[in-house]
Structure 1
Amino acid sequence: MARHGKQYGFGLLPGLITLVLYAAALVALALWGTDFVAWATPFADDWSSPWAGLFRGFLTAVLFALGLLLSVLTFTAVTLLIGQPFYESLSEKVDRDVSPDGTAPESDLPLWRELWISARDSLRILARALVWGVLLFALGFVPVVGQTVVPVIGFFVTGFFLTEELTAVALQRRGVEVRERLVLLRSRKTLVWGFGTPLAVAFLVPFVAVFLMPGAVAGATLMARDLLGEETTGNGPEEEPETPQAPQAPPAPPAQPHAPRPPGTEGVTP
């Protein structure tokens, strides 16, 4: 992305739009979360103090934490959905740059059809991610394990689904369905975790996620090519062709030793 500044600038727009939407939703949750919890728990109105306040305060904190977790899990999917045309163009550019013949796979589907497939697949992945999210959130209350092991597992799970969402941009153009994508990713879990887990950690900071999204899409495109076994050329500077050298004359044969002269002919020039 550092070599394609214009593409990087276009790739920032979807992330900025998504960031504004999510920030507004989290602010609204922080401002009116207490009222929502009070409305949802009318049975606690008759509880004696301070139990009602503690109970509702705990539920408000849980609600905000769950909203924050969902925002992390869904930020990439929503950003990719909003920025489908931007990231599609970016992914094709990366394919052309690293392809030996300079071409990129293209989808023959209209834009509305691609958006529909992307939204449908994102919902399927989101459903799986929500199951994992709720399970890990519940395990977080287990003493010791919930504060040590569970967060680590959560980052790996988030990294896996994050990689699936990012590689979907390139794999969808190649006609790879969501189930086939999951099979490909599960076959290379070490590669997937090595790519997605650091991104999941970085994406906890929304501003960082915005600026990393274009590079993440570019890296996921390279990963998609690797998963499918497609040949990829190097991205370094091109080597200068060697200048052909003029052919050299063959070396002269070694001088033959002179035959010995007969006696008495020394000093006579032949």
Structure 2
Amino acid sequence: MRDLGAGLRYLGQGQRWVLTHGRWFGFGLLPALVTLVLYAAALTGLAFWADDIAAWATPFADDWGSPWQTVLRTVFAVLLWIAVLMLAVLSFAAVSLLVGELFYDKLSEKVEEDAGGLPEGVVELSLWRELWLGLTDSLYVLWRTLRWTVPLFLLGFVPVVGQTVIPVLGFCVTGFFLTLELASVAMQRRGIPVRERLAMLRTRRGLALGFGVPLALLFLVPLVAVFLMPGAVAGAALLVRDLTGTDGRGPDSRAPGQPQPQPQPHLQTQPYPQAHPYPQAQAGPPPSPAPGGSVPPHQR
């Protein structure tokens, strides 16, 4: 529960940051607005052709009588539109980040500077390299999301459960991967690969869900998604600082009672081998006394 509250708090802090930095907020609206126009056209087309797609996908129901054929194809069309909408919520952030790569990266840096400073060892990449990594990482996240979305889509046909539990699980999956997508800006700055980002968020699922699920619900409202996108990037930068223990002064400076981050493989260092406590014991056999009980000079 503490991590859930922390995730929600970072979401609010990110929105508050951009509202108090109007220039950053204004520029952040442009990439999201371009993405919104593209997505609105795609979802409108899907809604228009949903019945035809449902009929094409369920040929076995051509001979069914009324009302079962209509019920099946209506449920299929509704679930298909919901599944695509969930993917659109996630990919909206990914496409907006690609369109506004330069801006969102600078915005995230500014948030971290205000929060205590950039982490040590910042990875500097060319624009084309950043765009390529952003594209490949987004495709990986989308692939992992589909591995959850497709089974949940099929389970949506189960009576009662498909209309109650499955939508809740769908929002949790979308919120988790939405957090992963938004956190990639600050994670990439630290040179953390996408698979390791996923592993890190798994250790703090509550943090990811507390940040991503409310945002996913708000992203369902088209214009709201545009206005929330800059603050979502800012809040994700703060979340990454919590997740990695970088607050500009070290992990021990966080507030009392706030959970300490779990050590991650990329942050761990190998201990140096301990020296033998008695090195002289490894230098060879003790000097043998010379005749008369004295030690020869060359062995003293």
TM-score computed with the length of structure 1 as normaliser: 0.76
- 1:180 and 2:208 aligned: no
Give the distance between the partners of 2:241 and 2:97, measured in 1 at CA: 19
Match of 1:32 among 23, 32, 49: 49
Match of 1:195 among 182, 191, 211: 211
- 1:18 and 2:35 aligned: yes
Map residues 186-265 of structure 1 onto 2, 5 A cutoff: 186-232=202-248
Give the distance between the partners of 1:211 and 1:152, measured in 2 at CA: 25
Give the distance between the partners of 1:209 and 1:21, measured in 2 at CA: 13
**1:230 is paired with a residue of what secondary structure?**
coil
The one-letter amino acid of 2:84's match is G
Retained in 1: the 8 A contact 2:119–2:248? no
Give the distance between the partners of 1:163 and 1:183, measured in 2 at CA: 13
Higher Rg of the two aligned structures = 1
| Map of 1:6 onto structure 2 | 23
| Map of 1:79 onto structure 2 | 96
Describe the shift of the 1:175–1:43 C-alpha distance in structure 2 as closer, same or farther (beyond 3 A): same
Describe the shift of the 1:194–1:58 C-alpha distance in structure 2 as closer, same or farther (beyond 3 A): closer
Describe the shift of the 1:89–1:66 C-alpha distance in structure 2 as closer, same or farther (beyond 3 A): same
Give the distance between the partners of 1:154 and 1:96, measured in 2 at CA: 35
**2:19 is paired with a residue of what secondary structure?**
coil
Report Cα offsets for 1:200-247 as digits up to 9, x if no partner: 22112122111111111001001111111112489xxxxxxxxxxxxx
Match of 1:130 among 122, 127, 146: 146
Q: Quote the sequence identity (%).
A: 60
Describe the shift of the 1:103–1:48 C-alpha distance in structure 2 as closer, same or farther (beyond 3 A): closer
Retained in 1: the 8 A contact 2:141–2:177? yes
Retained in 2: the 8 A contact 1:158–1:197? yes
Retained in 1: the 8 A contact 2:86–2:171? no
The one-letter amino acid of 2:209's match is W
**2:111 is paired with a residue of what secondary structure?**
helix
Describe the shift of the 1:27–1:44 C-alpha distance in structure 2 as closer, same or farther (beyond 3 A): same
Retained in 2: the 8 A contact 1:171–1:224? yes
Report Cα offsets for 1:60-94 as digits up to 9, x if no partner: 43433332232123221122122211211110111
Deviation of residue 12 (structure 1)?
0.8
Match of 2:111 among 94, 98, 116: 94
Match of 1:157 among 147, 168, 173: 173
Give the distance between the partners of 2:55 and 2:164, measured in 1 at CA: 32
Task: Return the structure number with greater relative CO, CA threshold 8 A, min gap 6.
Answer: 2
Which consecutive unaligned segments of at least 5 residues does structure 1 have? 235-270
Retained in 2: the 8 A contact 1:92–1:104? no
| Map of 2:187 onto structure 1 | 171
Give the distance between the partners of 2:227 and 2:64, measured in 1 at CA: 48
**RMSD between aligned residues:** 2.6
Give the distance between the partners of 2:74 and 2:164, measured in 1 at CA: 24
Give the distance between the partners of 1:42 and 1:216, measured in 2 at CA: 43
**1:141 is paired with a residue of what secondary structure?**
coil
Match of 2:164 among 123, 145, 148: 148
TM-score computed with the length of structure 2 as normaliser: 0.69
The one-letter amino acid of 1:77's match is A
